[in-house]
Amino acid sequence: MAARDGDLEARLRRLEDVEEIQRLLLAYARCLDEGDYAGYSELFTEDGELNAQLGQAKGREAIRALLDRRLGDDDAPPRRKAFHLIGNPTIEVDGDRATSIVTWAYLTHDDAGYPMLLQFGHYRDQLTRDQGRWMFARRDISRDLGFSPLDLPTTDAR
Amino acid sequence: MEATTAIDLAQLEARVSRLEDLDGIWRLFQDYRRHLDQRDFAAYSQLFAADGEWIGNLGRGKGPVEIEALLTRTLEVYPDDSTRTLHLVDNPVIEVDGDRATATSTWVYIERDEEDRPYLSLIGHYEDVLTRAGGRWKFQRRVAYLDFPYEAPAFAL
């Protein structure tokens, strides 16, 4: 009976892990869209790695500094400039490690204020359970299609 | 007390199994869209039961061999990464009943325009009957509805 209990506990744990990792994926998008780069950096392990189109960084401090430098805008009005839509999650859990592949879409608005799909790509993640909490040990971001606002010489409505 | 514990454990096992089935079926949906986006029609066709059916605007096929042939005949293969497209699958509603299940989900097809910008090209939904075969979930029947712009599925062919 003890063995069956243990087996069931492990199966339930895996399902809980998948659910918790989905929360992490959404927390990432929320921090990014709200400009909470401190919160964003805390989703990574202490020595976590970010490889993105806006740059590369290793460690929470470096990740936060990178986002502040590339995305920070003290004069920005308190309204959203973009939504990251997170979809197609595929999550594989293996004990205290996991991998995930996720589609991201970057939705913003054109000059007239209408929604516009500007770019999308994929996240490829290595995740670690650190002190009971799932975090990104490494996140590689690819853009498959579209344009980054960072690439554009002007802010015309692309 | 022993008996009560055993019964609770069986109920608990059934609840965990249901959640595992929901997770397994979601993985099936993701394998489907990934093989489709990667144009791996052989792997795609293996997601169907031996007598599984695909019905949609491309036609219909029964069994992996027919389904693979249908996609090979009707879908272009990307010459390179710069022409790649993507399916986003969401809004899953899945009902499990033993070794069978039914599900609906939404699909959005994203393509690139002539200036390389992404745009929502097509939107539709899937209506599925699923079956557990050899310990894993497969499509017994998938009807792929194309809602915008509407095109009737090939039920009658």
- DSSP letters, A68-96, are HHHH--TT--SS-S-EEEEEEEEEEEETT
Would the pTM of this model clear 0.95, i.e. be above it?
Answer: no
Name chain B contacts of A87, Cβ cutoff 8 Å: 88-90
pLDDT tens digits for range B76-100: 888 877 778 899 999 999 999 999 9
Cβ-based burial of B79 (10 A; exposed 0-12, middle 13-18, buried ≥19): exposed
Please report residues of A whose CB lies closer than 8 A to that of B16. Answer: 8, 11-12, 15
Q: What's the mean pLDDT when you consider all of chain A?
A: 89
Instruction: Check residue A4 and give its pLDDT.
Output: 60
Please state the ipTM of this predicted complex: 0.88
Block residue for tokens 């095109």: B151
Residue A82 pLDDT > 80? yes
Domains of chain B from N-terminus onward: 2-148 (3.10.450.50)
Instruction: Give the residue on B whose Cα is nearest the Cα of A7.
Output: B13
Tell me what the mean pLDDT of segment B141-151 comes to: 95
Q: Which residues of chain B neighbour A103 with C-beta distances below 8 Å?
A: 86, 88
B30 pLDDT above the threshold of 60: yes
- Specify the fold of A2-70+80-146: Nuclear Transport Factor 2; Chain: A, (3.10.450)
**Can you give the pLDDT at residue A74?**
61
**Model pLDDT for residues B35-82, shown as the tens digit of each residue:** 999 999 999 999 999 999 999 999 999 999 999 999 999 998 888 777
| Nearest residue, CB atoms, A15 vs list B5, B23, B116 | B23
* Mean pLDDT value of segment B108-126: 92
Nearest to B110 among A11, A18, A120 (CB): A120
Distance from CA of B75 to the nearest CA of A (A): 20
- A93 vs B7: which has the higher pLDDT: A93
